[in-house]
Amino acid sequence: MVFLEENNPKRYPHGHFTAHIALYVSFGSYTGAYDDAVTVLYKEVAEGGETPDRIVYPLLFLMRHALELGYKWTLLGLASYLKKPCKTGEFRHSLSKLHIRLGDDVRELCQRLEVEIPDFNRRYVEAESVLKLFEQLDKEEFAFRYPTDRNRRKMSFAAGQTINLLDIKNDYDSAMVLLRHTLNVVGDHIDPDDEWHRKVW
């Protein structure tokens, strides 16, 4: 392998691959890390370093997981604003359930604050397309990780099935904009002395 041939002390100094795994332990940091990994893989395909066929499964898994983390991170923040509990585990891995809860919480908060956030509604609707696609491709939240279902009776994808990774990336980016900015936009209407601002998600 080329990597092994180049793996020498001169090219890779001691500590080059050392990761401080406990350095960024928050929902926001995890979300950003997975999103960055998605960007790296897309860049590899765009520049010809990898083929879509070869990286499609880990790429789709990373995208789906980044979205799930983004939703849970946002819901935790909204729950703090609303001063009500949010058990992210109750949604398991369902993007549609997370999406519905996000809409409900933002609407409830806007009603309490007597404000409107028109751009949220547009972004919220736009995000639904990528969620529907992921649930269509991965109904049991299993297909991006394994080639068959749990009973090994059905293949994860049909022979000849194709998808366009660029189209998915565009929809994914739109959903991530919603998740990156919802707390900031809503936070503009919250008292800066609120305890939420002293927490790290």
For 124-175, how does the pLDDT look when each residue is reduced to its tens digit (9 = 90+)? 999 999 999 999 999 878 899 999 988 888 999 999 999 999 999 999 999 9
**pLDDT single digits (tens) 66-88:** 999 999 999 999 998 888 888 87
Q: To 5 degrees, how large is the angle CA 148–CA 31–CA 176?
A: 90
User: Across all residues in the chain, what is the average pLDDT?
Assistant: 87
pLDDT of residue 191: 62
Select from 192, 179, 196 the least CA-distant residue to 120: 179
Looking at residue 90, what DSSP letter applies? G
192: phi then psi, degrees, rounded to nearest 5:
-60, -15
159: phi then psi, degrees, rounded to nearest 5:
-60, 130
Cα dihedral across residues 37, 185, 183, 29: positive or negative: positive
Q: Which tokens sit at 89?
A: 């585990």
Q: Where are the domains of the chain?
A: 28-190
Beta bridge partners of residue 155, listed in sequence order = 148
pTM score, two decimals?
0.86
pLDDT > 50? residue 15: yes
pLDDT of residue 7: 58
